[in-house]
């Protein structure tokens, strides 16, 4: 852990805090009190994710939040202000919702693994964030919901991520009732991987990140992309696709190095290019 901390660079202030710990980049939502996804925060997130996509130094991204709420989703006050626009807010609504959807796609398409670190409430697009990340670790007091139906605004974009993470009936239970579920139920639904006491949250997430960062970046990039692509295919097509991916992966430099290291009983030296 000391080696990681020695490389830490922090950029305090602003809606999005950026902290680089060696190969791990931590992005912390910092829009109190509810970490609402204002347009400015969404733009900051989009910019960071675009930058990290081509980074050779960053191998894992952690998305966390300051305060007692992970994220309450879109900034409803900001959206409501734009109802006074000449088009009733249509252009701004489209811009904000589209940008949020694009960010979820960026998370899925990043070559790096993305881990959500949740301590508190994740609601609406905040819950969508959690469902969009590759892994999610939360505290035992965290809660989750898609409450749009309660205010006449069905959580349609969060639905996309949620129905691809939880079972459809479980996702629809959340979407149709708008009720809040606890951390244990979220784990049962498949929304989070692990539940930990608050005092161990950072430690557990850092361990996940460290383990993943030690793997071949090439293999992680290939595998993450393949996982999401095959999930949308029929079974036969998925196997055909995966066979091709695995053959190409076998021919890659890191696979040759990793297998050679395993057989030679030594540590592999991954290709960082």
pLDDT at 272: 72
Structural contact between residues 37 and 73, judged by C-beta atoms closer than 8 angstroms: yes
| CATH number belonging to the domain at 16-213, selected among 3.40.50.10680, 3.30.930.10, 3.20.20.150, 3.90.226.10 | 3.90.226.10
Domain locations along the chain: 16-213, 216-264
pLDDT at 34: 96
| CATH number belonging to the domain at 216-264, selected among 1.10.12.10, 3.40.640.10, 3.30.460.10, 2.40.50.140 | 1.10.12.10
Helix or strand run (H / E) with residue 225: helix 217-230
The whole-model pTM stands at 0.91
Q: How far is CA 143 from CA 167, 190, 194, in A?
A: 18, 14, 13
pLDDT at 182: 98
pLDDT at 13: 64
Phi, psi of 33 (to 5 degrees): -90, -15
Nearest CA among 176, 136, 142, 170 for reference residue 156: 176
- Averaged over successive runs of 10 residues, the pLDDT of the chain (273 residues) comes to 36 83 96 96 97 94 97 96 96 96 96 97 97 98 97 96 95 97 98 97 96 94 95 94 94 91 92 73
């Amino acid at each position: 852990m000391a080696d990681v901390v020695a490389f830490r660079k922090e950029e305090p202030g602003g809606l999005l805090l950026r902290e680089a710990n060696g190969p791990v980049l931590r992005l912390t939502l910092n829009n109190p009190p509810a970490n609402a996804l204002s347009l400015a925060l969404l733009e900051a997130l989009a910019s960071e994710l675009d930058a990290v996509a081509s980074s050779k130094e960053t191998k894992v991204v952690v998305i966390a939040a300051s305060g007692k709420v992970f994220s309450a989703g879109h900034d409803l006050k900001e959206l409501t202000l734009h109802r006074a626009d000449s088009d009733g807010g249509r252009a701004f609504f489209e811009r904000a919702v589209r940008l949020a959807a694009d960010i979820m796609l960026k998370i899925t398409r990043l070559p790096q693994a993305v881990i959500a670190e949740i301590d508190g409430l994740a609601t609406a697009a905040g819950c969508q964030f959690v469902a969009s990340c590759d892994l999610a670790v939360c505290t035992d007091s965290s809660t989750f919901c898609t409450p749009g139906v309660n205010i006449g605004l069905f959580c349609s974009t969060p639905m996309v991520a949620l129905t691809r993470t939880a079972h459809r009936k479980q996702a629809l239970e959340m979407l149709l009732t708008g009720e809040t579920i606890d951390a244990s139920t979220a784990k049962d639904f498949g929304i989070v991987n692990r539940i930990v006491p608050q005092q161990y949250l950072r430690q557990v997430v850092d361990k996940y990140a460290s383990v993943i960062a030690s793997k071949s970046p090439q293999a992680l990039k290939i595998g993450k992309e393949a996982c999401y692509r095959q999930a949308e295919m029929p079974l036969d097509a998925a196997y055909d696709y995966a066979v091709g991916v695995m053959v190409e992966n076998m021919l890659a430099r890191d696979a040759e190095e990793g297998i050679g290291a395993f057989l030679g009983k030594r540590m592999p030296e991954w290709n960082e290019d």
